[in-house]
């Protein structure tokens, strides 16, 4: 009897190990409905305080948290550009260009998977990945900590908020994450409608909502409060044109292939971003990217992981045409197929997509404190 239980346990463990790391999409019957957005989750090990949020706000706009003190979080997440970067590929560290589109930080507090392929599981982990990434901030921990130490206001703030004798870089990321958790928008026209305010959506937007949940089937992937299932798909987004004509972008692209450990054959011949494959090294994940939220997208053009589409109408037309073509067509999601929308229906659907965004979120950029000599230990 004991032997039978042991064999059953071994079989169960083998089944769990065999399951894919990134689950397949759920069926349409399991799609959660659109829902109003509530308060963002706050991790138990990084509670919000007004002082921590204010410190994070300062650090978010401070370029000294980077390699050459020229690139802040706000450099690639500019509030005047939807808290993202309004070019196809994001700004890179001086002398480089980034290789993917910069996503907005608005409502990023709700994501369980950050970056286009879910490479960070929290805002606390996202911040250093960006600030230290070679084609982003390119910072070094010891240099950034030293800069903070030369700023009396930061020394006092880190001591007050975290109890640091000297500013610790890990706590800088916690403060930035706390600030980013205040960059949320929960009062969009769609939120108000879903809470019972029937006049919040126009008749055109209501027609678009019916298409979104029906004929266009956007709800299959863009569902729940954040309008994303946070799963991974290849939808046929074509390669970034800049990889064919921009020498700096070509260098960055090849560097990323090398840094992510692809095979020599792939390094030599790949002409497109393989997406999730870089994390899993599974061929069936080539060309797949995490479904982005539709919230705040009115201000975050261009769209897709490489900024291939420049407005919401172009996005809807892309899906209506059955997606596009890229190097990984063998992995194209079966959900991608022509939708058969006419021009009026496209306009209705675009109008509904605009309801996922409320007024632009803006704030005064803080005045950053200056360097000062370190205090004399003898005094």
Other Cβ atoms within 10 Å of 115 Cβ, number: 19
CA atoms within 13 Å, Cβ hemisphere of 62: 23
Q: Following DSSP, what letter does each residue of 84-132 receive, concatenated?
A: B-SSSS-B-STT-B-SSPPPP-TTGGG-SSBTTTT-BSSHHHHHHHHHH
Measure the CA–CA gap between 231 and 257, rounded to whole angstroms: 23
Helices (H), the chain: 2-18, 50-60, 73-76, 123-132, 141-149, 152-162, 169-180, 189-194, 203-213, 242-245, 247-259, 264-269, 277-280, 312-320, 343-354
Give the residue-averaged pLDDT of 333-353: 97
Of 16-30, 58-72, 138-152, 162-176, minimum mean pLDDT range: 16-30
Is it the case that residue 7 has pLDDT exceeding 60? Answer: no
| R_g (Cα) of the chain, nearest Å | 23
Is it the case that residue 330 has pLDDT exceeding 50? Answer: yes
Q: Following DSSP, what letter does each residue of 180-197 receive, concatenated?
A: HTT-----SHHHHHHTT-
**Could you give the domains of the chain?**
50-180 (1.10.760.10), 189-354 (1.10.760.10)
Is it the case that residue 20 has pLDDT exceeding 70? Answer: no
pLDDT class of 214 with cuts at 50, 70, 90? very high
Number of H helices, E strands in the chain: 15, 2
Q: Furthest-apart CA pair in the chain: how many Å?
A: 78
pLDDT class of 29 with cuts at 50, 70, 90? low
Cβ 30 vs Cβ 23: under 8 Å: no
Shortest CA distance to 223 belongs to which of 74, 24, 26?
26
Render pLDDT for 62-84 as a digit per residue (tens, 0 to 9). Answer: 999 999 999 999 999 999 999 99
CA distances for 301 relative to 76, 255, 344, 350, angstroms:
14, 26, 22, 14
Give the residue-averaged pLDDT of 358-367: 97
Render pLDDT for 88-110 as a digit per residue (tens, 0 to 9). Answer: 999 989 988 999 999 999 999 99
Measure the CA–CA gap between 267 and 217, rounded to whole angstroms: 36
Question: Which are the contacts of 370, defined by CB distance < 8 A and separation ≥ 6?
Answer: 151
Is it the case that residue 5 has pLDDT exceeding 90? Answer: no
Cβ 303 vs Cβ 297: under 8 Å: yes
The tokens for 273 are 């971003």
Render pLDDT for 261-313 as a digit per residue (tens, 0 to 9). Answer: 999 999 999 999 999 999 999 999 999 999 999 999 999 999 999 999 999 99
Render pLDDT for 309-321 as a digit per residue (tens, 0 to 9). Answer: 999 999 999 999 9
Supply the pLDDT for residue 14: 37
Is it the case that residue 253 has pLDDT exceeding 70? Answer: yes
Q: For Cα atoms 115, 116, 121, give the angle at the middle one, nearest 5 degrees.
A: 40
Pick from 2-6, 46-50, 264-268 the range whose average pLDDT is largest. 46-50
């Amino acid at each position: 009897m004991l032997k039978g239980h042991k064999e059953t346990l071994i079989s169960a463990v083998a089944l769990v190990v065999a399951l894919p790391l990134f689950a397949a999409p759920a069926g349409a019957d399991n799609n959660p409905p659109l829902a109003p957005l509530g308060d963002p989750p706050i991790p138990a090990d990084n509670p919000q305080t007004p002082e921590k949020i204010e410190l994070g706000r300062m650090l978010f706009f401070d370029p000294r948290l980077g390699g050459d003190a020229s690139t802040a979080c706000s450099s690639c997440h500019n509030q005047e550009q939807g808290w993202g970067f309004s070019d196809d590929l994001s700004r890179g560290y001086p002398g480089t260009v980034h290789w993917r589109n910069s996503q907005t930080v608005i409502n990023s507090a709700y994501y369980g998977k950050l970056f286009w392929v879910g490479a960070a599981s929290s805002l606390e982990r996202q911040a250093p990945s960006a600030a230290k990434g070679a084609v982003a901030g390119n910072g070094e921990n010891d240099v950034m900590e030293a800069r903070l130490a030369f700023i009396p206001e930061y020394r006092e703030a880190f001591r007050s908020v975290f109890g640091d004798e000297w500013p610790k870089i890990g706590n800088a990321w916690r403060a930035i994450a706390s600030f980013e958790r205040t960059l949320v928008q929960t009062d969009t026209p769609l939120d108000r409608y879903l809470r019972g305010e029937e006049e919040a959506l126009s008749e055109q937007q209501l027609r678009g909502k019916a298409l979104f949940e029906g004929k266009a089937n956007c709800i299959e992937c863009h569902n729940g409060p954040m309008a994303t299932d946070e799963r991974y798909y290849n939808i046929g987004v074509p390669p970034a044109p800049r990889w064919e004509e921009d020498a700096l972008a070509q260098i960055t692209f090849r560097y990323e292939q090398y840094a992510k450990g692809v095979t020599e054959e792939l390094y030599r011949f790949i002409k497109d971003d393989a997406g999730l494959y870089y994390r899993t090294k599974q061929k069936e994940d080539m060309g797949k990217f995490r479904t982005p939220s539709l919230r705040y997208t009115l201000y975050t053009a261009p769209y897709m992981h490489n900024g291939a589409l420049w407005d919401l109408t172009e996005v809807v037309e892309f899906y209506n045409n059955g997606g596009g073509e890229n190097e990984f067509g063998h992995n194209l999601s079966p959900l991608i197929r022509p939708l058969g929308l006419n021009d009026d229906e496209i306009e209705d659907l675009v109008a509904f997509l605009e309801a996922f965004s409320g007024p632009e979120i803006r704030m005064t950029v803080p005045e950053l404190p200056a360097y000062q000599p370190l205090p004399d230990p003898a005094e």
